């Protein structure tokens, strides 16, 4: 009787294959690769998150599709993968930010928040009856200790800090592009906007539609999260 390769090893998130792989985690990573493209840019002034939204029907209201979520005044999250999974993690991030604020009377640092979310993801890779979260997150913000910070988390629970990062279906093309053009230091958020916009152009099949782009910025001047409106996005597009 023919037995498919990997049978048994991909039925549970807690079972390692003989070569040390967790197939359920790898399947979750594949879900991320099918998600919308999200970009994070760190500058001296703050951090930028940019996402190109995708609709599966023209009946959906564009402004109701969210891919960037506020966690606290000084931190936001961009997602790629399963939006429902992301919503659960974003809610957990908001709770963790408020717990830290109430306990220590200070805003949570970006890395501390990232570590707590990554820990939640990791737990879902080692317990029976659950599956890994099929979403990657770009967590960006400005904290009082380290200034602008950008991190990326994977379904496995791993996380890394970046100067610029991309997740989703267009990530390989954008990362290759950024590795070529991204300078050692980006001084202003205006420079970051243009880098993010040009990167999105690399993976867009058609001309970029400002209504299908979501951009948020957290600046070091006031550590406040702000979403760009349609007019500001159009002005950015005209500068290319």
Classify residue 125: in a domain, yes or no.
yes
Give the CATH number for residue 87: 3.60.20.10
Tokens of 183: 């300078």
| pTM of the predicted structure, to 2 decimals | 0.92
Listed residue (7, 31, 29) closest to 18, CA to CA: 7
C-beta of residue 236 within 8 angstroms of C-beta of residue 197: yes
Q: Mind listing the pLDDT tens digit of every residue in the chain (240 residues)?
A: 444 555 566 666 677 788 878 888 999 999 999 999 999 999 999 999 999 998 888 888 888 889 999 999 999 999 999 999 999 999 999 999 999 999 999 999 999 999 999 999 999 998 878 899 999 999 999 988 899 999 999 999 999 999 999 999 999 999 999 998 887 778 899 999 999 999 998 888 778 888 889 999 999 767 789 999 988 988 888 876
Number of domains in the chain: 1
In a domain, 11, yes or no: no
Tell whether 14 is covered by a domain.
no
Chain center to CA of 169: 12
| Domain contains 13 | no
- Residue 55: inside a domain, yes or no? yes
Any domain includes 4? no
Q: Residue 23: inside a domain, yes or no? A: no
Inside any domain, residue 71:
yes
Q: 3-state SS string over the chain? A: CCCCCCCCCCCCCCCCCCCCCCHHHHHHHHHHHCCCCEEEEECCCEEEEEEECCCCCCCCCHHHCCCEEEEECCEEEEEEECHHHHHHHHHHHHHHHHHHHHHHCCCCCHHHHHHHHHHHHHHCCCCCCCCCCCEEEEEEEEECCCEEEEEEECCCCCEEECCEEEECCCHHHHHHHHHHHCCCCCCCHHHHHHHHHHHHHHHCCCCCCHHHEEEEEEECCCCCEEECCHHHHHHHHHHC
Domain housing 180: 31-239
Closest CA to 23 of 35, 10, 6: 10
């Amino acid at each position: 009787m023919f037995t498919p390769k990997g049978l048994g090893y991909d039925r549970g998130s807690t079972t390692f294959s003989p070569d040390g792989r967790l197939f359920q985690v790898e399947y979750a990573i594949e879900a991320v690769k099918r998600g919308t493209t999200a970009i994070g840019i760190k500058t001296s002034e703050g951090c930028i998150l940019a996402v190109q939204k995708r609709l599966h029907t023209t009946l959906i209201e564009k402004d109701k599709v969210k891919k960037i979520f506020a966690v606290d005044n000084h931190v936001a999250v961009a997602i790629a993968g399963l939006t429902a999974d992301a919503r659960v993690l974003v809610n957990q991030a908001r709770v963790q930010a408020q717990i830290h604020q109430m306990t220590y009377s200070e805003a949570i640092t970006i890395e501390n928040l990232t570590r707590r979310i990554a820990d939640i993801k990791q737990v879902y890779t080692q317990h029976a009856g659950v599956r890994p979260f099929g979403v990657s997150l770009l967590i960006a913000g400005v904290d009082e200790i380290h200034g602008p910070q950008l991190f990326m988390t994977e379904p496995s629970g791993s996380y890394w800090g970046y100067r610029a990062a991309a997740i989703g279906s267009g990530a390989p093309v954008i990362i290759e592009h950024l590795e070529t053009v991204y300078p050692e230091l980006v001084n202003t958020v205006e420079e970051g906007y243009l880098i993010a916009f040009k990167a999105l152009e690399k993976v867009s099949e058609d001309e970029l539609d400002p209504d299908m782009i979501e951009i948020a910025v957290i600046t070091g001047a006031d550590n406040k999260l702000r979403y760009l409106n349609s007019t500001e996005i159009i002005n950015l597009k005209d500068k290319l």
